[in-house]
Chain A
Amino acid sequence: MDTLLYLTRRIAQALVVILIVTVVVFGLLHALPGGPARGILGPQATPQQITLFNHDQGLDRPLPVQYLYYLRQLLHGDLGTSYTLNEAVSRLIEQRLPKTLVLTVLSAVLGLVLAIPLGMWQAVRRNKPADYVITTLSFVAYSTPVYFLGLVLVLVFTQVLRWFPSQAPQGDTVAQVFADPVALVLPVVTGAASMVAVFSRYMRAATLENLSEDYVRTARAGGSRQRAILFKHVFRNSLTPVIAMLGYYVPVLFGGALVVEQLFNYPGMGLLFWGAAQSSDYPVLLGCVLVISVATVVGSLLADVVQRVVDPRVKGGLA
């Protein structure tokens, strides 16, 4: 019952956020030079065409009415038509989104798998050389622009060492992407680097905080060994805040995918978006922003729900 109440409230919240996002995107659409008409008809449209279009589409009506019209279109899954690729934006996104998800999810998993043990190890060896070395490395990883890191990796691993190809797997379907796993290595590693940096810092901080908690002392007073305390108690307690942070990190992952896809020529949404930006294909640009934002909202919703499952206190409505 409690869970149901929580879920309804949380989903309602997410819907409000998505509504605000649509307002922002709608605002951007109207900020375009020449307004949405030029955005949709393309740069070659004549003034007459624009006037006609504006009237047909109700664009000469007041903004709030137009907004409602825009919302109704969205509800029907209509994101407009790309005028360079001549295809429905929703179709394009449908084809590309799964591939971007593959990339981001793999990067996230790799990032967490590395970051969590690293952070714990740092906390245990706090202020020892290993801690300083990893801290410095994570600062460097965090501070390196993704495209620079990708470039360095490409130069080292494809030009000098020739271990991996410099292109990501091509192919139109997810199955084709997985058919060439070697080619996925560099894009995924590039996407995961800053995540390792950020989450090892979080994990280090959370572990340190938990190591100083009273329950650790209670466990020690009961004769538990340091290692057992670390893995049985501290690990789980430190993980919950890190999971909560994951929700906030989803947009960063998508931002990273934008650059990685462009760098490795990976045909996902990032590359679609990039191409649309070069050709001022506004319906595609705004459609992608909308979908990415919704994906982000859903991602943080999932992170919250997972945290609730892991942490019984949240379920009880306490913490």
Chain B
Amino acid sequence: MNSILEIANLGVVFSTESGDVPAVRGVSLRVEPGETLALVGESGSGKSTVALAALGLLPGNARASGGVSVGGTDVMGASEAELARLRGRTASMVFQEPATALDPLTRIGKQIAEVVRNHRDVSRQEAAAEAAELLRRVGIPEPERRASAFPFQLSGGQRQRVVIAMAIANSPGLLVADEPTTALDVTVQAEILDLLRALAADSGTGVLLVTHNMGVVADFADRVAVMLEGEIVETGAVEDVLLRPTHEYTRRLLAAVPRLAVTVTGSGGGSGSVVGEEAEGAPVVELRDVSVQFGRGPRAVRALEEVSLTVRAGETVGLVGESGSGKSTAARVALGLVAPESGGVSLFGADLRKARGRARRALLAGVGVVLQDPVASLDARMSVAECVAEPLRVHRRGMGAGERRERVAEVLELVRLPRELARRGPRELSGGQRQRVSLARALVLEPRLLVADEPTSALDVSVQQTVLEVITELQAELGFACLFVSHDLAVVQQFAGRVVVMRGGRVEEQGPTMSTLLHPGTAYTRRLIAAVPVPDPVLQRERRERRLALGTGAGA
């Protein structure tokens, strides 16, 4: 009975407008001091609910049953005052979204000091000094000065460090981390995971890590519990679960995870797709020395600087980079949605900026678009049929209603959706179905170019796999070129023949995917690849050690 966290037969039911929804059923787990238990699952599996229940932070419409004990305190039976004494001292929490986790109007030093003073009777000055010391421990440079910064003055990674500083302020025995790196870029993710690992090891803290990312699990966890529909289906040591899964669902989940091939001989490469260069076709879209600037005057932001890239007929080009690298802006320039300040854009050999009226529309008829957010990409007020038929209404005005209906049904079948879905509204569809409807809309005019901006990054891996497979198959069948924007190197490696790496609005390097990602030409790309965690604990441990040996200086 020396576990820091012990959950026995936990059940959680949410009462919602449409009745009671069970979120967690019969979950039992324990976290020992000094160990990390990863709770993995896809969205809706109930993993975050378990994390919140551990600290008694469930929202008001939740009813919990079973037992939760943290460091010997019964959380379920505790009063709000008892819970307040426990939170931040015995157990604390790190959340997913660093952008909103901090009070925007309070200086970060004060927010950390508040947690210190919640639990210890120290003066304001002492608390402030401790806050600065904590900032130093989580790797914020010039902690005394930065303590008086407001959250908006920090980057996402720095904000997450502040949240971690708050969490470790009173050296808790248990740290609950709910998707702590999901909102961050991979290089920042690697740094945050290193930090959490070091802090936990220093003080023998037990960690409950909630994540959907198998690479993070492999990098960080000692043991793993896999959740499905509110229940734990498999528990075990990280090597066993990730390398020798026993439950059918775990196996399926792991098979769907795109793996970054790190050696030529490695098992990666998946569907392998197109290796090498086939840049023989005519250019479909071409950006030449494109610069883009948002805003004017002293506040102006240079989003792109002399970016040149070409997509040729039939090929797939992956555009990768971290947030702020300009990859989405480049895609929008190619689509004519953002006007470049200088440089040229040609679409199917014609200058998009000079084309007007009928000529412009004719050019654009050859383009299909799929954007990231499955919720925002379809107008909820239209039926699926109307959404898919919209390009036909724009470009094939003479088409009869019957003919249009037939074409919509055909395309829905292409993306492997049943015809009956045509009458439904987007709200009745799942995220994966919505993205396939977006794809159907993009393909209904048989475009020569598909621009896909992070089409699967909001989806669970299993759903992502289906959507990517559909795109690959249709590309083979219909022969369109594809500009594929993604932050996920593993997906791009699987999917694109050529890759363009962007950084800070510039093209860092480009070339055939396999050779570029296996033998990167620049230090930045090398660092980017080294930061991607692979879902194999043994391999990941090696990669981590190599990364740490290779570039401590490179990180900052």
Give the B-binding residues of A (Cβ under 8 A).
5, 213-215, 217-226, 228, 232-233, 236-237, 240, 310-313, 316-319
Are A232 and B114 neighbours in the complex by a CB distance under 8 Å?
Answer: yes
**Hey, which chain B residues are within 8 Å of A310, CB to CB?**
105
Residues of A within 8 A of B152 (CB): 312-313, 316, 318-319
Given the complex, which residues of B lie within 8 Å of A232, measured CB to CB?
A: 106, 114
Contacts of B97 in A (CB 8 A): 214
For residue A234, which residue of chain B has the nearest CB?
B103
Decide: A223 near B105, CB < 8 A? Known: A5-B298, A215-B100, A218-B95.
no
Whether A224 lies near B153 (C-beta < 8 A) is no
Whether B299 sits at the interface, judged by CB under 8 Å, is: yes
Most chain A beta carbons < 10 A, residue from B88, B95, B100, B104: B104
A221–B55 CB distance below 8 A:
yes
> Which residues of A are found within 8 Å of B106, using beta-carbon distances?
232-233, 236
Known: A5-B298, A236-B105, A313-B150. A219 touches B100 (CB 8 A): no
Contact of A219 with B114 in the complex, beta carbons under 8 Å: yes
Name B153's contact: one of A215, A221, A225, A316 (CB within 8 Å). Answer: A316
Bound complex: CA A233 to CA B107 (Å): 11
B93 within 8 A of A: yes
Interface residues of B in 48-93 (CB under 8 A from A): 55, 57, 80-81, 84-89, 92-93
For residue B118, CB closer than 8 A to chain A, the reply is: yes
Across the interface, name the chain B residue whose C-beta is closest to A314.
B152
Instruction: Tell me, yes or no, whether B449 is within 8 Å of chain A by CB.
Output: no
CB of B176, distance to nearest CB on chain A (Å): 8
Asked if B87 and A222 sit within 8 Å, CB to CB, the answer is yes
Interchain residue pairs with CB less than 8 A apart (14): A214-B101, A215-B100, A215-B104, A218-B103, A220-B87, A221-B88, A221-B92, A223-B84, A224-B84, A224-B115, A225-B80, A225-B81, A232-B106, A312-B104
Q: How many interface residues does chain B have, given as a range?
A: 35 or more
- Cα distance A319–B152 when bound, in Å? 9
Question: What 3 A-B pairs come out closest when comparing CB atoms?
Answer: A223-B88, A222-B115, A222-B88
Residues of B within 8 A of A311 (CB): 104-105
Does B166 sit within 8 A of A, measured CB to CB?
yes
Residues A218 and B86 in contact, CB atoms below 8 Å apart: no
- B298 nearest in chain A by CB position: A5
Judge if B339 is at the interface, Cβ distance under 8 Å: no
CB distance from A104 to the nearest CB of B (A): 29
When distances are taken between beta carbons in the complex, the residues of chain A under 8 Å from B496 are none
Residues on B with beta carbons closer than 8 Å to the beta carbon of A5: 298
Known: A222-B166, A222-B169, A316-B152. A215 touches B87 (CB 8 A): no
What is the bound-complex CA distance between A318 and B154, given in angstroms?
12
Bound-complex Cα distance A114 to B105 (A)? 24
Docked-complex contact B104 and A237, CB < 8 angstroms: yes
A223 touches B89 (CB 8 A): yes
Check if A217 sits within 8 Å of B57, measured CB to CB.
yes
Distance, CA A319 to CA B101, complexed state (A)? 16
Q: Tell me whether B95 and A224 are in contact (CB under 8 A).
A: no
Q: Are A223 and B86 in contact (CB under 8 A)?
A: yes
Q: Does B119 contact A (CB under 8 A)?
A: yes
Q: Judge whether B163 is part of the interface by a CB distance below 8 angstroms.
A: yes
Point out which of A221, A232, A317 has the most chain B C-beta atoms below 10 A from its C-beta.
A221
In the complex, chain B residues whose CB is within 8 Å of the CB of A222: 87-88, 92, 114-115, 118, 166-167, 169
Asked if residues A317 and B169 are in contact (CB atoms below 8 Å), the reply is no
Cα A312 to Cα B103 in complex, Å, equals 12
Q: Are B102 and A218 in contact (CB under 8 A)?
A: yes
Instruction: Give the complex CA separation of A222 and B55 in angstroms.
Output: 10
- B115 — which chain A residues lie within 8 A by C-beta? 222-224
For A319, the chain B residues whose CB sits under 8 A away are 152
Q: Which residues of A contact B80 (CB under 8 A)?
A: 225-226
**Which B residues form the contact surface with A (CB < 8 A)?**
55, 57, 80-81, 84-89, 92-93, 95, 97, 100-106, 111, 114-115, 118-119, 150, 152-153, 163, 166-167, 169, 298-299
Instruction: For the A-B complex with A236-B105, A313-B104 known, give 13 more contacts whose Cβ atoms are closer than 8 Å.
Output: A214-B100, A214-B101, A217-B95, A220-B57, A221-B87, A221-B92, A222-B114, A222-B166, A222-B167, A228-B114, A233-B105, A313-B150, A319-B152
A213–B100 alpha-carbon span in the complex (Å):
7
Residues of A within 8 A of B92 (CB): 221-222
Q: Which of A218, A223, A318 contacts B119 (CB 8 A)?
A: A223
- A215 touching B103 in the complex, CB below 8 Å, given contacts A221-B57, A223-B87, A226-B80: yes
Contacts of A237 in B (CB 8 A): 103-105
Residues in A with CB closer than 8 Å to B55 are 221
**Residues on the B chain within 8 Å of A317, using CB:** 299
User: CA–CA, A317 to B298, complex, Å?
Assistant: 12
Quote the shortest CB–CB distance from A27 to chain B (angstroms). 34
A223 to chain B, nearest CB (A): 3
For the complex, give the distance between the alpha carbons of A215 and B166 in Å: 12
- Considering the complex, give the chain A residue whose CB is closest to the CB of B150: A312
Give every chain A residue within 8 A of B167 (Cβ-Cβ). Answer: 221-222
Instruction: Report the separation of the CA atoms of residues A215 and B159 in the bound assembly, to the nearest whole angstrom.
Output: 12
> Is there an interface contact between A223 and B85, defined as CB atoms closer than 8 Å?
yes
Nearest CB in chain B to that of A224: its residue: B118
Minimum Cβ distance to chain A for residue B60 (Å): 10
A318 to B163, CA, bound (A): 21
Partner of A240, one of B105, B153, B166: B105
A221 touches B93 (CB 8 A): yes
Contact present for B114 and A224 (CB under 8 Å):
yes
In the complex, which of the residues A223, A311, A313, A319 has the most CB atoms of chain B within 10 Å of its own CB atom? Answer: A223
Contacts of A233 in B (CB 8 A): 103, 105-106
Q: Closest approach, in angstroms, between the C-beta of A298 and any C-beta of chain B?
A: 26
User: In the bound complex, how far is the Cα of B152 from the Cα of A210, in angstroms?
Assistant: 17
Residues of chain B contacted by A224 (CB below 8 angstroms): 84, 88, 114-115, 118
A319 CA to B99 CA, complexed, in Å: 13
Closest chain B residue, CB of each to CB of A225: B84
Q: Bound complex: CA of A240 vs CA of B150, how far in Å?
A: 16
Chain B proximity of A90: nearest CB distance (Å):
39
Give every chain A residue within 8 A of B169 (Cβ-Cβ): 222
Which chain B residues border A215 with CB–CB below 8 Å? 100-104
The minimal Cβ–Cβ distance linking B375 to chain A, given in whole angstroms, is 19
| Separation of A232 and B153 alpha carbons in the complex (Å) | 20
- Minimum CB–CB distance from B163 to chain A (whole Å) comes to 7
In the complex, the chain B residue whose C-beta lies closest to that of A226 is B80
Which chain B residue has the least Cβ–Cβ distance from A223?
A: B88
Q: Is the CB of B87 within 8 A of A218?
A: no
Closest chain B residue to A313, Cβ basis = B152
C-alpha gap A225/B163 in the complex (Å): 18
Cβ contact of B118, chosen from A214, A223, A226, A316, cutoff 8 A: A223
**A222, A232, A233, A237 interface centre (most CB from chain B within 10 Å):** A222
Chain A residue numbers with a CB within 8 Å of B93 are: 218, 221
Distance to closest chain B CB from A276 (angstroms): 46
CB distance from B102 to the nearest CB of A (A): 6
Asked whether, in the complex, the Cβ of A218 is within 8 Å of the Cβ of B104, the reply is no
B452 to chain A minimum Cβ distance, whole angstroms, is: 30
Q: Which residues of A contact B153 (CB under 8 A)?
A: 316
Give the distance in Å from the alpha carbon of A317 to the alpha carbon of B119 in the complex.
36
Bound: A232/B114 CA distance, A: 10
For B150, what are the chain A residues with a Cβ–Cβ distance below 8 Å? 312-313, 316
Chain A residue contacts of B298, Cβ below 8 A: 5
CA distance A226 to B100 in the complex (A): 19
The distance in angstroms between the C-alpha atoms of A319 and B163, with both chains bound, is 21
CB of B547 to closest CB in A, whole Å: 30
Q: Contacts A224-B114, A224-B118: A312 and B87 contacting too (C-beta < 8 A)?
A: no
Within the complex, the shortest CB–CB distance from B349 to chain A, in Å, comes to: 42
> Which of A213, A214, A218, A310 has most B Cβ within 10 Å?
A218
- Minimum CB–CB distance for B354 against chain A, Å: 35
Residues of A close to B166: CB separation below 8 A: 218, 222
**B101–A218 contact, CB under 8 A?**
yes
B7 vs chain A, min Cβ distance (A)? 17
Shortest distance between the CB of B21 and any CB in chain A (Å): 19
